[in-house]
Each structure stands twice: as structure tokens, then as C-alpha cells.
Homo-oligomer: A and B are copies of this chain.
């Protein structure tokens, strides 16, 4: 496959990828749905009339929407037909777009001239806790080595409901929050700026397919048709606030201060060449959580930290999606097992993705081992947790045995200083 759009072999967005996003640009102030190709965006709003396959010819309106929900709400065969249509339109042998200079002019926008937006109305966002290394690390730090993993952990893909309103697109700054903490056990709580501000390296899956009904279950074996595609996610976390508030109902204000996602949704179709063995599960889960097929992905993940005072970013973690113990099919089955309904555009976060070595951990909490082992950055700064002005950049990409590379672009955000409270 070769496109008439030229791009570097290191591009995140070759013709094999074709992730979906929502953008505005100087050409169009209204939000349009687009697909990334090299350094360009193909504006699907402009070329919606070219989706003439049997399934989509009566559904072209979904490409005219300002969000991806309507397209996500179709079915996998629709998504596959859309992908084939776009690949064909971009193929070097296809002249429809290539030789129509007026249409080409309208249909392509430079990514660097576009502003990206949250690509869907996220009706509900859940976040899981599916990395065994992350859960074990946190367990050791807070409960000791003996009881590191909660007793339910290998039976249930543990998750909780998060906040949809504060999901923001990559590039949006995050403000260090004020909140309550308990600096000394048994003493009085303190109110002030968070002192243990952290990132969490995650990926998140957008739900697609027609909405389900309240009371309907989607077991793991049937989950695939509900999975649209993935983005990178930084689940910013105020560790000291979390520690004081989370018993007994879980994290709340420590997490709802902002959650960043990358703008391009890489589809399951694009990720299929990078499927690898599922993580071995030493306790056989209940049947509703079982699926026989491989549904784990070799997605290389990196975290850069760039202090405000330095032009140099340091790669502080190299992890991989494949380290997750629970698959996204199992997460989805857990989400719905008691009858919770799904809507296209819902988002399932993976939880922090940590590997089994100390350079592959997905949070400052683990990388600095609760602040006991400061990280040294390339500019010689030290970090236990995030400092004001730090920019955190998540990256993810896959390479197959033939060297074909697809990527997720960046998920980045800068931490701004706390804003004093007026009372």
C-alpha cells in the first residue's frame, strides 16, 4: 500500500493507520471529522460524498457531524468499509482525489494548522486498574509485600467510574489543584495545593456500536463489536489528596481535575497486525470474562518529562500496552456484567500501564518509589513528583515484523502552578 501523500517512514500516520479525530482550522471554524495521513488531515466532511460503499452510501451524514459518536454508533462492517474507502481514496493508484486539485485543496489540512478537539461526546468514562505490575507496586507501597494485590484483583478487572466533563484534549494545560490532605496519620487534615502531583500512563478505548439497553450484558466473547479504537491517556492524579479521600468510596477529586487524551483514535482494524498473546492469567476467570482469541497489543509506550526551564525532555519511562493483565474485552464484560448499558463514545481507561522493571513504570509514584528514589533528568534536575511548569508527553507506537509503523501522536500537558483560592 502506498499513498500519493508523502510522509516519512517514521510518521505515526501512514496509510496503514488512518486514525479518526475532530478538528477546526483556519479554513473551517466548525468542527469537522478528519483522518490523519502523514502531516495532513483528510477532511471527511468535505469528502463525505465519496463514501459510496453498500453500507455507507446512505450513512454519509455521519461524516458531517461535529463529533464521532454517530460514526462510532454504526457497526464494525461499516467501520471496515470506511477504512477501505479512505485507503482507496489515498492510494497512489486512485485519481479521484489525487487529480482533482480543487477538491484536494479543500479536503486536506495541514495538521500543524489545525486545532484538535475531544473527538466524541463521552457519555461515561470508566477507569480500570488492569496492570498487575502497577497494582502490585502500589500495593507494596501502601499495604506491604504480603498483601500487595487485593484479594479480588485476579478475579475482577477492578474499575471505577470517572468524570467525563474534565476529559481534555492533548495540549490543554492542567492546573495544580488545591485540596485536603492528611500530612500526618492521626493528625489534623491540611488544605492547600497538592504536593504529590502525578501523571498516569494509560490508554483508553472508545466504545462503538449501537447503544445497549439497561439490563443488557456484553460478555468478553461478544465484546469485540463494541470496541472502536484507542487513544493515549494521562490520568493526572493528586496522590496526597487521593490518599486522604479514597476510603471508602474510591478516588474522587484527586482524579477529576483533568484527564488528557491524545486526539487521534487508532482503530482496532489498524491495530490488528500488532496483536500479541494475552497476558497469562494464573487464576481462570469466570466464564463471562473468558475469550479464546488473542486481544492484547504490542504498543510501545514512552513518557517524556520536560521541565519549564529546560529545552530538553527526558524519557522517564518505556512501557508497553501488552503488560496489561486484563484485556479490554474483559474490562468491557466487567463494565456491563450487572446490566450497565453502553453508549457509543463511552471511554474505558486501562489504568496505569507499568512494566516489570523500574524504568517501565507508568507513574512518578512508582518511578520515584513514593519519593524515596528521585529521578535525575537530563538537565540534572531531580524529580520525586511533578513540579510546576513540567510538561508530560506520552507517546505510543507499534512496529510489525515488516517494519510497518503506526503511532498515536502525542498526549501532552503542562502542569501550571496552583491558583490561590479566594474565600
Q: How far is the CA of A341 from the CA of B253 in the complex (A)?
A: 11
Instruction: Mark each residue of chain A from 394 to 410: 1 if its CB lies under 8 Å from any CB of chain B, else 0.
Output: 00000000000000000
Query: Would A250 and B250 be within 8 Å (CB), given that A155-B180, A337-B177 are in contact?
Result: yes
A348 CB within 8 Å of chain B: no
A245 close to B158 (CB less than 8 A): yes
Instruction: Mark each residue of chain A from 187 to 225: 1 if its CB lies under 8 Å from any CB of chain B, else 0.
Output: 001010010000000000000000000110101010000
Mark the stretch among A68-76, A160-168, A376-384 that contacts chain B: A160-168
Q: How far is the CA of A185 from the CA of B332 in the complex (A)?
A: 27
Q: How far is the CA of A247 from the CA of B178 in the complex (A)?
A: 26
Q: Which residues of B contact A337 (CB under 8 A)?
A: 177-180, 253
Q: How far is the CA of A246 from the CA of B219 in the complex (A)?
A: 21
A369 CB within 8 Å of chain B: no
Residue among A158, A177, A217, A339 with the most chain B CB within 10 A?
A: A339
Within the complex, the shortest CB–CB distance from A235 to chain B, in Å, comes to 12
In-complex Cβ contact of A160 among B166, B177, B249 (8 A): B249
A414 CB within 8 Å of chain B: no
A119 CB within 8 Å of chain B: no
Query: Would A215 and B258 be within 8 Å (CB), given that A338-B177, A339-B175, A346-B165 are in contact?
Result: yes
A29 CB within 8 Å of chain B: no
Q: How far is the CA of A257 from the CA of B334 in the complex (A)?
A: 12
A374 CB within 8 Å of chain B: no
Total interface residues in chain A, CB < 8 Å: 67
Query: Would A164 and B123 be within 8 Å (CB), given that A158-B249, A189-B155, A421-B288 are in contact?
Result: yes
Q: Which residues of B contact A182 (CB under 8 A)?
A: 151-152
Query: Would A257 and B340 be within 8 Å (CB), given that A164-B124, A423-B288 are in contact?
Result: yes
Q: Which residues of B contact A247 (CB under 8 A)?
A: 150, 152
Q: How far is the CA of A287 from the CA of B256 in the complex (A)?
A: 21
A279 CB within 8 Å of chain B: no
A129 CB within 8 Å of chain B: yes
Q: Which residues of B contact A163 (CB under 8 A)?
A: 124, 161, 340
In-complex Cβ contact of A161 among B160, B175, B338, B421 (8 A): B160
A168 close to B338 (CB less than 8 A): no
A253 close to B178 (CB less than 8 A): no
**Which residues of A (282-302) have their CB < 8 Å from a CB of B?**
286-288
Q: Which residues of B contact A339 (CB under 8 A)?
A: 166, 175, 177, 257-258
A254 CB within 8 Å of chain B: yes
B338 close to A178 (CB less than 8 A): yes
Q: How far is the CA of A164 from the CA of B168 in the complex (A)?
A: 19
Residue among A124, A189, A244, A252 with the most chain B CB within 10 A?
A: A252
A166 close to B214 (CB less than 8 A): yes
Within the complex, the shortest CB–CB distance from A278 to chain B, in Å, comes to 18
B250 close to A175 (CB less than 8 A): no
A265 CB within 8 Å of chain B: no
A residues with a Cβ closer than 8 A to B are 123-124, 126, 129, 150-152, 155-156, 158-166, 168, 172, 174-175, 177-180, 182, 189, 191, 194, 214-215, 217, 219, 221, 238, 241, 244-254, 256-258, 286-288, 334-335, 337-343, 346, 419, 421, 423
Interface pairs A-B: 5 shortest CB-CB = A250-B250, A177-B338, A256-B340, A160-B249, A257-B338
Q: A160-B249, A179-B338 are in contact. List 9 more A-B contacts (CB 8 A).
A: A156-B244, A158-B249, A160-B160, A161-B161, A165-B342, A191-B287, A194-B338, A214-B258, A258-B339
A and B contact pairs by CB, cutoff 8 A, 13 listed: A152-B189, A155-B189, A158-B245, A161-B161, A161-B163, A166-B214, A172-B214, A177-B339, A246-B248, A246-B250, A248-B250, A253-B334, A258-B339
